[in-house]
Amino acid sequence: MSEPGESINVDAPVVSFFTHDDLLFCGLNEFSISVLDAFSYSKITKLATKRVVNCMLPIDEDHILTLEKDGFIEIINTKKLEIVYTTQHSSKISINQGIQT
């Protein structure tokens, strides 16, 4: 487990992050998400994304929505730790924020 003030190695600058259950999803500045154990900060896996992930939102207990540069939107299954859906908005505008309603 990391001590307070100790850096956590995630391979690239973190642009966004989201916690879900015992997992920490870190959107990196290199078209990927590093998935860490939320308590020990040990790396579990790394997911390749279409673009830099600007924001992550919960969809339900098992899925996270990613909002990315160039209008890409992806859905991650948090149990299988894999991207299960990818699309690109027709405007191709970077999606920087979202609100769950």
Provide the number of structural domains found in the chain.
Answer: 1
More confident residue, 59 or 7: 59
Does a structural domain hold residue 4? no
Q: 8 falls in which pLDDT band (50, 70, 90)?
A: confident
- Pick the range with the lowest mean pLDDT from 5-9, 30-34, 66-70, 88-92: 5-9
Per-residue model confidence as pLDDT tens digits over 26-79: 999 999 999 999 999 999 999 999 999 999 999 999 999 999 999 999 999 999
Does a structural domain hold residue 25? yes
Does a structural domain hold residue 101? no
C-beta separation of 52 from 15 below 8 A: yes
| Strand ranges in 9-101 using DSSP code E only, listed in sequence order | 14-20, 23-28, 32-37, 43-48, 53-60, 63-68, 72-77, 82-88
- Which residue's entry shows tokens 């899925």? 63
Per-residue model confidence as pLDDT tens digits over 12-28: 999 999 999 999 999 99
pTM of the model: 0.86
Q: 11 falls in which pLDDT band (50, 70, 90)?
A: confident
> In this structure, what CATH number is given to the domain that contains residue 62?
2.40.10.480
Does a structural domain hold residue 99? no
- Which residue's entry shows tokens 């920490």? 24
Range of the domain at 58: 14-88
